[in-house]
Chains A and B, each alone.
Chain A
């Protein structure tokens, strides 16, 4: 269970930044003026630290 949870926490941002990108490959809707695909990538890069922190929590590292 614990093992699955940490793999899931890793798989979500990794999938969002790789396999999901061709499906969000468009300019509209613009987010804060950015093209959608760029805002998507930036958003997931910004969220990545939360996911990695979460993996550490599941492992009781901190």
Chain B
């Protein structure tokens, strides 16, 4: 008999979370600063919750378990890169925040305008962000559909459910802005930690006695699964090192992550978050435990993307409906909450950096909030339409997100460390870095097993330095007047 209990729990939890978040921000007066960066008033704990809410997407739930199931040891990179990213960016986030505070920056492309003052560069960055955001949001929509399919035991039209859920959160962002996302993250983070502790500890204990015993069995059954392949093998050791470096360097380069950085109350809020955020990475190991357990439990074996659902299928088959309900609810929030942040930052970029800076539209505060809200609705509906019509093609575009936003890293890091960084150097670096990364990724070549995005980033930096040195030779005044030290 089919139980509707899990679906009822998903609806109640997601609905309750959004209502709770909405009621917390109902009375805020909306200025562009309040709507897009929470009035730059978030303290340490609130920002920790928001960043965890944005960063840990449905990939944490489905993808990491799928990687553990399919590839084994390469999945360990997921724990390492966030941690390396937090340590690295400790040195740069306060500097970015100071510039944002002094110049009133609201979006990530705003930083490029403030530091480099080159309209062509800012427009390129804004366009890359816009093209990258849409496939990322549509990926989250597919995740919602997966969670609803499993929670409904396959008996309901999950696509319709995903459409409704997405329309609701578009309305939610329209009404609440960044502060709403932060409040919703509170419920989401708590539920996710609970679900992962269950999946990563209860499942191995019930089936094998303990996580250690699960590893005994796994090592016997698949001796090579838990170590990285040879140095230059696909997903081998060099791949691991280059992937951790690339993703760590690009860690805060998502448009919504930069918005979150701007939303901090002061610099030390960011520094303290570099201490506390790695703790969240430890929770991810539990997803890996769940994925490894599923590899031993689920038969016949799953292949390819189907492995993403491995541990959810274990929960569906072996646990009571209410457990499935709460885990699916956590998963749905994992897809929806980061989508709200991405929609918001994407809308801000279109309204301010394309509409405002390029075409002089919506320049005063009132009309800027209205324009951003309108773009939230437009982007949300566009993402929904593209998902319904072209979702398979869009998966390929995800490469653009992962390889693309990381290419913005040198603009921030060199911008902070090297006064002579030239805007055309940054421009050339991004273009070359993107071309190399996407070219290699699209053709499936990876020299020495290195991550294509990493090779792109190395080329990017080389071009940036070369053009900056060249420009400086002819125009010594090209050096910026940024004096603030990191």
Contacts and interface: CB of A to CB of B under 8 A. Distances in A.
Contact of A45 (B79, B88, B90, B288): B79
Contacts of A21: 76, 80, 228, 237, 240-241, 244
Contact of A14 (B84, B212, B268): B84
B86 interface: yes
B88 A22 contact: no
A2 interface: no
B432 to A, nearest CB: 24
B361 interface: no
A49 interface: yes
Contacts of B394: none
Nearest to B273: A52
Interface centre among B87, B210, B211 (most CB of A within 10 A): B87
A29 B246 CA distance: 30
- Give the dominant DSSP class at B's interface: helix
B281 interface: yes
B215 A35 contact: yes
A10 B241 contact: no
B241 A37 contact: no
B90 A38 contact: no
- Give the dominant DSSP class at A's interface: helix
B91 interface: yes
B210 to A, nearest CB: 7
Nearest to A51: B87
B365 interface: no
Interface string A33-62: 111011001101110110111011000011
B73 interface: yes
Nearest to B216: A33
B234 interface: no
Contacts of A25: 73, 227-228, 237
Interface centre among A21, A34, A55, A56 (most CB of B within 10 A): A21
Given A10-B87, A51-B87, A18 B244 contact: yes
B271 interface: yes
Contacts of B276: 49
B226 interface: yes
B83 interface: yes
Nearest to B236: A22
B231 A42 contact: no
Nearest to B94: A61
B76 A37 contact: yes
A35 B226 contact: yes
B228 A49 contact: no
Interface in A2-42: 10, 13-14, 17-19, 21-22, 25-27, 30, 32-35, 37-38, 41-42
Contacts of B211: 33-34
B366 to A, nearest CB: 39
B312 interface: no
Closest 9 pairs (CB-CB, A-B): A33-B212, A22-B237, A48-B278, A17-B80, A35-B226, A49-B275, A52-B275, A45-B83, A48-B83
Interface of B: 73, 76, 79-80, 83-84, 86-88, 90-91, 210-213, 215-216, 219, 226-228, 231, 237-238, 240-241, 244-245, 248, 268, 271, 274-276, 278-279, 281-282, 285, 288
Interface of A: 10, 13-14, 17-19, 21-22, 25-27, 30, 32-35, 37-38, 41-42, 44-46, 48-49, 51-53, 55-56, 61-62
19 contacts: A13-B83, A14-B87, A18-B241, A18-B245, A21-B80, A22-B228, A22-B238, A25-B73, A25-B227, A26-B227, A27-B219, A35-B226, A38-B226, A49-B276, A49-B278, A52-B86, A52-B87, A56-B275, A61-B268
